[in-house]
Amino acid sequence: MLNEIEEDIVATADELFHRVLFYHFRTHRSDMLSEELSGLSLADLHILRTIARTPDVILKDIRQITGLPHSTLTGIVDRLEEKSFLRRVISRRDLRSYGLELTDTGREVEAEHERVDRLYTERVLSTLDEDERQTLLRLFEKISEGLGSVP
C-alpha cells in the first residue's frame, strides 16, 4: 500500500504523463498522418518497428519481445499482412519457422512512424536544457531497466 506522499507522487506523475501523451495526440492528429499510419494500434507499430530493426525475425522472437499471447500476435500479423505491410517468409535462420519482413508499403509506413516519433521526441527534448536532457535519458534508462523492457 502506498503511503500518502507516494500516492500524491503517483497521482502527479500520472497527470503529467497524460499531459505529455495528450500533447502528442493533439499535435499528431490523424489528419496530419497518412491513413495507413493513423489506422495502426501501438501494438501494430511496435511489431512493424521490431521487424524493421531485427533482420530475419521470427514470430517466436516477436512473442518474446512483445509479451503478446500467440493468438493476439497471430491476429495482428494477419491484419498487417492483409494491409500489405509485411509478409511471412521461410526463415533463413530456422527453416521450420516463418520469418517476417516488411513490404515496400510497410517500410514506408515504418519510415513515417520513425519520422513522427523523432519529431515528437525533438519537441519534448527542446523544452529541456542539456543537463535536463541527460538527466531525463538516465531516468528513462533506469525505468526501462527496472521494468525489464526490451527493444
Half-sphere exposure of residue 137: CA atoms within 13 angstroms, side-chain side: 10
Same domain, 45 and 107: yes
Residue whose C-alpha is closest to residue 59's, from 40, 78, 85:
78
Question: 3-class DSSP state for residue 89?
Answer: strand
- The candidate with the shortest Cα–Cα distance to 50, out of 29, 34, 33, 67, is 67
Question: What pTM value is reported for the model?
Answer: 0.77
Say if residue 48 is in the same domain as residue 118. Answer: yes
Report pLDDT digits (tens) over 41-80.
889 999 999 999 988 899 889 998 888 899 999 999 999 9
Q: What local confidence, expressed as pLDDT, does residue 80 receive?
A: 96
26 and 44 both lie in a single domain: no
Please tell me whether residues 94 and 112 are part of one structural domain: yes
What does the DSSP 8-state code read for residue 109? H
44 shares a domain with 21: no
126 SS3 class: coil
| Residues 8 and 82 occupy one common structural domain | no
CATH at residue 60: 1.10.10.10
8 Å CB contact between 49 and 80: no
**pLDDT tens digits, 99-148:** 899 999 999 999 998 988 888 888 888 999 999 999 999 998 998 888 87
Q: State the residue range of the domain holding 65.
A: 34-147
Asked if residue 129 and residue 90 are part of one domain, the reply reads yes
Distance CA(33)–CA(46), nearest Å, equals 17
Total structural domains in the chain?
2
Residue 105's pLDDT is what? 95
Question: Are 21 and 78 part of one and the same domain?
Answer: no
pLDDT band for 31, please (50, 70, 90 cuts).
Answer: low
